[in-house]
Chain A
Amino acid sequence: MPVKCSSSCGKNAILKRPKTGDALCKDCFFWAFETEVHNTIVSGHLFKKGDTVAVAASGGKDSTVLAYVLKVLNERHDYGLNLVLLSIDEGITGYRDDSLETVKQNRDDYQMPLKILSYEELFGWTMDAIVGQVGRKNNCTFCGVFRRQALDRGATLLGVNCVATGHNADDLAETVLMNILRGDIARLQRCTSIITASESEGSIPRVKPLKYTYEKEIVMYAYFKRLVYFSTECVFAPNAYRGHARAFLKDLEKIRPSVIMDIIHSGESLQVKDDVKLPVRTQCTRCGSVSSQELCKACVLLEGLNRGLPKLGIGKTSLANRAREQQDAQKTRIVNCDF
């Protein structure tokens, strides 16, 4: 027996919303999905009229749906936004070529300008080359850290007011769990905020319009709208620990679907004790981006690669300093011998 759409529009429902369990027809689902993102944008004060917004486009489902929905809402509600696509080419043979094709398709379909920046032009290293240096074990550290930097630099280059990323509710809940598991209090407190405005000036805020949208609904939306996206998980071995957190979240979701929103609520409402010292965030002395250390992670990793000490940024800071000093000492010795 067909189930009726719970909005009593008279049509038959075609799906059950993972978030609330309501049965909806296709049209009511599209409308509900879009209206919820609109609600997040309005209540979170994500944009101002006239803003230029860079959509971080990876070719994956989240950013494809994000670009599409932002375009729809911008027109429907007259946000007055100037939307551009910003894509990062990490330089991974086979993987990136395909996903960049998807992004170019988005550019044509949604008629948004597209800027592609590559790791190679920004850092002088492609991910392929980095993997050649560090092996397959720690490269996710590199791609995460460099991607973050690359988006910042790209946003500065394009002169945008903010960067919109496709992080969804599942990603956020996973990050909350992740930060508890690794005891990262500072990031635990920050990770659920919808605008990651940096305290230091000069850095461009990040916004997450899909923060309260379930991953499953994003897939449903893309599926029924027939949006093309490129779906491949990272070709390199992803961080094992994050994988555990992801699997745990999926198991929890099967038991109680609202758990994703419940975990985000926990993240939003927990407080850090007054007497716990959190790392002070300053600017990297080399590149000026936000960092809790003198040198930001990207600069340390880059230095490691350029020095031929790729492990420099992966271990503890004290170890990195020692390795750096040792190499410098050796260099001085060599230099001394020359004289």
Chain B
Amino acid sequence: MCSRNDEEDGSQSLMEGKTKLTWTEVCQKCSTEKPVIQILQIKHAYCRNCFLAHVNHKFRSTLGKSKMMKPSDVVLAAFSGSGKSNAMLHLLHAGLSEQSHKRFLFKVQVLYIDEGAILGTSLEDRTANLQAISGIIEQYGFKSYYTTLASIFEETGSKCFPLVKDSTLKIKENSEEELKNLFLNVKSLTAREDLLRQLRRKIFLQSAKELDCCKVFTANTSTDLAIHILTDVSLGRGSQMHHDVSFCDPRDASVKIIRPLLELSSKEVTYYSVFHELESIYIPSLCTKASSDSSIHNMSKQFVMELMENFPSTVSTVFRTGEKLGSTNTTNTCETEDNLCIICQMKLDVSVAACSSVQATDFSRLISSLGPAGFDNKTLSQLPDTSKGILSNQADSLLCSSSTSCCSDSDVQCGCHKDVQRLSFPDVEKLCCYGCRLIIHDMENTSSLPESILHKVRTRRSLENMRESIQDFLL
């Protein structure tokens, strides 16, 4: 019985079941007003004003204790039109309007990213969204900009445009087409969503650089981040998830991505918006219309929500797990470009031990295609210490001959390694982390990737060739 359980030592008690929160007659904070909301972490009922003060305090203390904000900073706040991101703007605005010593000294600009192209939204609707967005931001008086997802395909020129009352959406047909192609090329919704997340991150960084901002603020709550943790683990991104779920994502040398709402739950932020009667605009995104079993992200979201019903502490437990992960002294800035994933900038995590999940999967692919007849027993006996060498080379050439984009003539040893212009799947995959490889795996061909990424592949490949040819003379 329960042989699956025999690693247990009975610590499931770490999970708290549902405990009854205490509704009281009066607010636990001010003891005068009638309570309207219960806060899980405090397990007490608060009145409206005390609750709003609590959220504001949490937001300020999150920023304060990080000791990362400098008076000279210009922050780029990402605004999507959602209630959450409006709450973030409202909190920032409140902080900037405070009296003297309590006032935030940094400056705030707002960025809206138009993603309409990948959803096939009409240009009129996209422009209408844009104007509604500008209407909300205007109330706060922030300087605001918009950019489009397709700008990732543009090589030169400005990609961010000022967002004012009657801005019309400027698009470039070419890059819009390229963006649509890229997403059509990715077969599964899971990979499309993951790709979108990586591209958004690139857009944040690219826009911040263009607008001279050193920090980007995103409105992720602790609930969002708990969902991200489960999603990241399931996408093979275990080694990098601490960057995706911590206060600061330090991967880029000059722009930090900051999550100032991470100590607040989605419930708290939603109530904040409701009590302040903040407007939100519904702009559909890649996953909004899809059912829960359509992608790993949607499934994780549903799972966390359901678990919250019976185990309300789930979010904070998962979130605290995430906080403890990741090496503290590894800052990516000291890494050389050569070791980083070309898509997400993470340290490549694929050259792992001989006995690992990566090696086992490669091995499965290899022997499924070779079969008992094609498999030389000597190959296996050489395997243990050469997991990188022999195995990945063979797997590479196999992947090559089975993919449609290169080597149509499968009898000839794959020639794509010599081809300068065309890039094979292995060429690209070699420079990707485990998680991004899964995206590439789901693509029909690699040529639809943005030129900035393909360029990196070519450069790194030719550098490698150069190194190979002079290897004997390197000391």
Q: CB distance B7 to A274 under 8 Å?
A: no
Residues of B within 8 A of A185 (CB): 321, 324-325
Residues of B within 8 A of A8 (CB): 371, 374
Question: What CA separation (Å) do A261 and B438 show in the bound complex?
Answer: 12
- Determine whether B317 belongs to the interface, using a CB cutoff of 8 Å to chain A: yes
Residues of B within 8 A of A132 (CB): none
Residues of B within 8 A of A273 (CB): 242, 324-328
Q: CB distance B294 to A180 under 8 Å?
A: no
Given contact pairs A261-B361, A266-B239, A241 touches B12 in the complex (Cβ within 8 A): yes
Q: CB distance B364 to A270 under 8 Å?
A: no
**Residue among B2, B241, B373, B383 with the most chain A CB within 10 A?**
B2
Interface flags for A225-253 (1: CB within 8 Å of B; 0: not) read 00000000011101101101000100110
Q: Which residues of A, 210-233, contact B by the 8 Å Cβ criterion?
A: 212
With CB as the reference atom, state the residue of chain B lying closest to A208.
Answer: B7
Interface size on B, residues (CB 8 A): 77
Question: What CA separation (Å) do A180 and B368 show in the bound complex?
Answer: 33
Q: CB distance A263 to B372 under 8 Å?
A: no
- Determine whether B229 belongs to the interface, using a CB cutoff of 8 Å to chain A: yes
Looking at A14-22, A322-330, A331-339, the stretch in contact with chain B turns out to be A14-22
The smallest C-beta distance from B11 to any residue of chain A, in angstroms, reads 6
Residues of B within 8 A of A167 (CB): 4, 7
Interface flags for A305-325 (1: CB within 8 Å of B; 0: not) read 000000001111000000000
Residues of B within 8 A of A39 (CB): 360, 363, 380, 383
Among B3, B241, B329, contact of A147 (Cβ-Cβ < 8 Å):
B3
With CB as the reference atom, state the residue of chain B lying closest to A273.
Answer: B328
Looking at A55-63, A105-113, A153-161, the stretch in contact with chain B turns out to be A55-63
- Determine whether B30 belongs to the interface, using a CB cutoff of 8 Å to chain A: no
- Determine whether A194 belongs to the interface, using a CB cutoff of 8 Å to chain B: yes
Among B9, B361, B381, contact of A145 (Cβ-Cβ < 8 Å):
B9
Q: CB distance A141 to B10 under 8 Å?
A: yes
- Determine whether A95 belongs to the interface, using a CB cutoff of 8 Å to chain B: yes
Residues of B within 8 A of A259 (CB): 234, 296
Q: CB distance B10 to A144 under 8 Å?
A: yes
**Residue among B5, B15, B294, B320 with the most chain A CB within 10 A?**
B5
Question: What CA separation (Å) do A259 and B238 show in the bound complex?
Answer: 12
Question: What CA separation (Å) do A17 and B320 show in the bound complex?
Answer: 37
Residues of A within 8 A of B327 (CB): 271, 273-274
Residues of B within 8 A of A28 (CB): 368, 371-372
Among B235, B325, B367, contact of A35 (Cβ-Cβ < 8 Å):
B367
Residues of B within 8 A of A6 (CB): 368-369, 371
Q: CB distance B1 to A143 under 8 Å?
A: yes
Question: What CA separation (Å) do A165 and B3 show in the bound complex?
Answer: 9
- Determine whether A48 belongs to the interface, using a CB cutoff of 8 Å to chain B: no
Q: Which residues of B, 278-331, contact A by the 8 Å Cβ criterion?
A: 293-296, 299, 303, 307, 311, 314, 317-318, 320-321, 324-329
Q: CB distance A270 to B6 under 8 Å?
A: no
Question: What CA separation (Å) do A42 and B379 show in the bound complex?
Answer: 13
Given contact pairs A234-B2, A268-B356, A268-B357, A251 touches B321 in the complex (Cβ within 8 A): no
Q: CB distance A20 to B365 under 8 Å?
A: yes
Given contact pairs A259-B296, A269-B434, A180 touches B318 in the complex (Cβ within 8 A): yes
Residues of A within 8 A of B324 (CB): 185, 272-273, 276
Q: CB distance B368 to A241 under 8 Å?
A: no
Interface flags for A87-117 (1: CB within 8 Å of B; 0: not) read 0001010011000000000000000000000
Among A239, A254, A271, contact of B293 (Cβ-Cβ < 8 Å):
A254
Residues of A within 8 A of B380 (CB): 35, 38-39, 42
Question: What CA separation (Å) do A40 and B356 show in the bound complex?
Answer: 9
Q: Which residues of B, 363-405, contact A by the 8 Å Cβ criterion?
A: 363-365, 367-375, 380-381, 383-384, 387
- Determine whether B359 belongs to the interface, using a CB cutoff of 8 Å to chain A: yes
Q: CB distance B294 to A271 under 8 Å?
A: no
Question: What CA separation (Å) do A212 and B314 show in the bound complex?
Answer: 29
Residues of B within 8 A of A188 (CB): 321
Q: Which residues of A, 183-197, contact B by the 8 Å Cβ criterion?
A: 183-185, 187-188, 191, 194, 196
**Residue among B14, B303, B368, B438 with the most chain A CB within 10 A?**
B368
Q: CB distance B233 to A171 under 8 Å?
A: no
With CB as the reference atom, state the residue of chain B lying closest to A147.
Answer: B6
Residues of B within 8 A of A291 (CB): 9
Q: CB distance A252 to B329 under 8 Å?
A: no
The smallest C-beta distance from B350 to any residue of chain A, in angstroms, reads 9
The smallest C-beta distance from B389 to any residue of chain A, in angstroms, reads 13
Question: What CA separation (Å) do A82 and B376 show in the bound complex?
Answer: 27
Residues of B within 8 A of A174 (CB): 4
With CB as the reference atom, state the residue of chain B lying closest to A11.
Answer: B371
- Determine whether B13 belongs to the interface, using a CB cutoff of 8 Å to chain A: yes
Q: Give A contacts to B, CB under 8 Å.
A: 5-9, 17, 19-20, 22, 24, 27-28, 31-32, 35-36, 38-40, 42-45, 56, 58, 60, 62-63, 90, 92, 95-96, 127, 140-141, 143-145, 147-148, 151, 165-167, 171, 174-177, 179-185, 187-188, 191, 194, 196, 212, 234-236, 238-239, 241-242, 244, 248, 251-252, 254-256, 258-259, 261-276, 291, 296-297, 301, 313-316
Can you spell out 6 A-B residue pairs with CB atoms less than 8 angstroms apart? A180-B229, A180-B230, A182-B317, A251-B293, A265-B434, A314-B10
Top 9 nearest A-B pairs by Cβ distance? A7-B371, A266-B238, A144-B5, A144-B8, A262-B236, A212-B360, A22-B368, A44-B355, A269-B239
Q: Assuming A212-B364, A262-B438, what are 10 further A-B pairs, CB within 8 angstroms?
A: A32-B364, A32-B367, A58-B3, A165-B3, A182-B15, A255-B294, A263-B238, A266-B234, A273-B325, A274-B327
